[in-house]
Amino acid sequence: MSHEAAIREPLIFGETNYSVITDEICAPAEAKPTKHWYIGFTIAMLTLCIGIVSFYYEVTHGIGSWGLNKTIGWGFDITNFVWWIGIGHAGTLISAILLLFRQDWRNSINRSAEAMTLFAVVCAGQFPIFHMGRVWNAFFTLPLPNDYGPLWPNFNSALLWDVFAISTYFTVSIVFWYTGIIPDLATLRDRAKSKTRWHIFNFFSFGWTGSIRQWNRFELVSLILAGLATPLVLSVHTIVSFDFATSVLPGWHTTIFPPYFVAGAIFSGFAMVLTLLIIARKVMRLEKYITIGHLEAMSKIITLTGTMVGIAYGTEFFMAWYSGYSYEQFTFINRAFGPYWWSYWIMISCNVVSPQLFWVRKFRRSPIFIFIMSIFVNIGMWFERFVIIVTSLHRDFLPSSWAMYVPTWVEFGMFVGTIGLFFVLFFLFAKYLPVIAIAEVKMIYKKTTHGKPAGAYHGEQDYDQDKAYELAAAAHGHGHDEHETVGEHHH
């Protein structure tokens, strides 16, 4: 076991021991849902219903119920798809890459981040399916054996690569997530008070007993899956970006897209993780485990990726100028100053300008500020996809075909509906399953609290982590023996 320097901010605060951790994390899953949960769940369900109505309307009436036209073939549909897929990326990054890099702080957020990934991919998947004019023939995109020749899908098409990329991504993510949750399901089983509950969790925990051999294999599988999932973080959004990059359209046909899309995906994904966790830690009283330090770490990643995205925007402009290709130059000028200028500037201000505020330490340690920023980033990243898709399409080569795109209620309904679907799934997850990986948090318990009860740092639930940490750090800075003084100082 590695040893954490005391200068590091602890990853768990509050009076804690193993049993307390178990109790606290299992509590929401074992108690009756709170009033807040019911209210939230109802709202999410209603929003989902809007989506169901909209999807139904689209399938029965035709794509004509959207605002697309002969010039603009994709609008909200693919914008939403790319947005949701991007959001999913943070979960995989946290669970896989950070695991491989032994970033222990990920342990208390990886479960919910991974769940978010799954739900985001579920939401994302709806759009490529339902954007098809003949959704009932969607299976044509699968390489199924058939009698027509046989007739295979077109392996040249980036859309087909999407089919593989996303299905792979979903499969690996769900296996990884489920593998991680098995020990916790067993914990819930062991704590079950009713026979039914015991049976259910027993079934889903695959008979986990917690033997050394099982733990050993659990760790191995986790590592292998992390190894498998790591390239996916890069590949999925790379392939999604190929939808655009392999086309001939100015504004789409850009080699910078793969890294730019991946950075953007992580950027938006972390924003969504933050949006969810800032609420969850408050409502479910998990501030001890999801600490200000966690939020700050994620804010830093947002600043990093946001800046990368900003550089990508600049590079695009540079390349347009440097290439001397007038169509491309026009596209970029049109983006910033054409009829959709507002979407471009929303994107710039949300994605490039606002994350820079996180350079101020105070801001990146304020949950409310981070929450607002995370919403900004989500909006900005949605507009980034909108800008890429719509502004490139609406004025391309032949000015005679230039047109405008105005979405209809059906498109709004579908978008809102997937947000509803996402939250319905998240609410169910938060209610029925442990939102924090109990076993993994326990792994870091010892090292992060330096062998002392975590309680040494703390007191109340809404305890000022900043202050505690500062005091602790100050004490350390004064040359006190870290093992002795940190706790004392506080007391």
Partner 1 sequence: METTNKYWKGLEELHHDADFEKNRMNEFAEKLPLSKVLKEDDLELSSNRRDFLKFMGFGITAATLAACSRSPVKNVVPYINKPVEIDPGVANYYATTCGGCNARCSLLVKTREGRPIKIEGNAESPFSKGGVCAVGQGTVLNLYDLGRLSHPVVNNKAADWKAIDTLASSALSAGGAIRLLTGTISSPSTKAAIETFIKKYPNAKHIQYDAASASAIIDAHEQGFGKAVLPSFNIANAKSLVSVDADFLGTWISPVEFTKQYTSARKVEGGKPEDFLFHFQFESTLSLSGSNADHRATLSPSQIGAALVRLHNYVAEGTGGAQAGSSSLELAGNSIKMAATHLVKNKGKALVICGSNNPDHQALVASINSMLGAYGNTIDLDNPSYQYQGNDKEMIALVNEMNAGTVGTLIIHDCNPSYTYPDAKKFNDGLAKVKTSIAFSTRLDETSERCTAVAPTNHFLESWGDDMPKAGYISLYQPSISPIFNTRAAEESLLLWAGISTTYDEFVKKNWKENFYGGGEYKNFEDFWMHSLERGFISMESKNAKSYSFNGNLASAAKVAAESGDIEVVIYEKVAIRDGRDANNPWLQEMPDPISKVSWDNYAAISPKLAEKLGLNDEDVVEIKAKGSNYSVKLPVLKQPGQKYNTIAIAKGYGHNAKESATYKVAAGIGANAYPFATVTDNALIFGGQTVTITKTGENYPLAQSQTHHHMEGRDLVRETTIAEIANGSYYKEMEKKEKEESSLRISLWQDYRYPGHQWGMAVDLNACTGCNACVVSCQAENNVPVVGKDEVRRRREMHWLRIDRYYSISEEGPKEIYHDKYKELDKLGAENKLGNYEKVKVVFQPIMCQQCSNAPCETVCPVNAISHSSEGLNQQAYNRCVGTRYCANNCPYKVRRFNWFNYALNDKFKDYPMQTDLGRMVLNPDVTVRTRGVMEKCTFCVQRIQVGKLDAKKEGRALKDGEIKTACQQSCPANAIVFGDMNDPNSEISKLLENKRTYKILTELNVRPSVNYMSKVRNSNETIA
Q: Is the peptide bond before 150 cis (omega within 30 degrees of 0)?
A: yes
Write down the least CB distance from residue 318 to partner 1, Å: 20
User: In this chain, which of 37, 45, 71, 353 binds partner 1, going by CB under 8 A?
Assistant: 71
Q: Residue 138 or residue 220: which is nearer to partner 1 going by CB?
A: 138
Residue 337 sits in the site that holds partner 1 (CB under 8 A):
no
Residue 55 sits in the site that holds partner 1 (CB under 8 A):
no
Write down the least CB distance from residue 260 to partner 1, Å: 19
Residue 221 sits in the site that holds partner 1 (CB under 8 A):
no
Residue 62 sits in the site that holds partner 1 (CB under 8 A):
yes
Write down the least CB distance from residue 412 to partner 1, Å: 17
Burial of residue 477, with CB atoms counted within 10 A of its CB: 0-12 exposed, 13-18 middle, 19 or more buried: exposed
Residue 61 sits in the site that holds partner 1 (CB under 8 A):
yes
Contact window for partner 1 (CB under 8 A) among 243-251, 311-319, 347-355, 434-442: 243-251
Residue 150 sits in the site that holds partner 1 (CB under 8 A):
no
Q: Is 455 in a helix, a strand, or coil?
A: helix
Q: Which contacts (CB < 8 Å, 24+ apart) does range 276-283 have?
A: 276/112, 276/116, 276/426, 277/109, 277/112, 278/367, 278/370, 278/371, 278/374, 279/371, 280/112, 280/430, 280/435, 282/367, 283/34, 283/36
Q: How many CA atoms within 13 Å lie on the side-chain side of 228?
A: 16
Q: Residue 46 or residue 404: which is nearer to partner 1 going by CB?
A: 404
Q: Residue 149 or residue 479: which is nearer to partner 1 going by CB?
A: 149
Residues 343-402 that bind partner 1 (CB under 8 A): 393, 395-402
CA 244 to chain centre: 22
User: In this chain, which of 360, 403, 432, 484 binds partner 1, going by CB under 8 A?
Assistant: 403
Structure token pair of residue 9: 């901010």
Residue 154 sits in the site that holds partner 1 (CB under 8 A):
yes
User: In this chain, which of 132, 174, 192, 311 binds partner 1, going by CB under 8 A?
Assistant: 132
Asked if residue 312 lies in contact with residue 299, where contact means CB atoms within 8 angstroms, the answer is no
Asked if residue 231 lies in contact with residue 371, where contact means CB atoms within 8 angstroms, the answer is no
Q: Residue 159 or residue 175: which is nearer to partner 1 going by CB?
A: 159
Residue 165 to residue 308: CA distance in whole angstroms: 24
Residues that bind partner 1 (CB under 8 A): 61-64, 67-71, 73-74, 128, 131-135, 137-138, 140-141, 151-154, 156-160, 162-163, 243, 246-249, 325-327, 330, 339, 393, 395-404
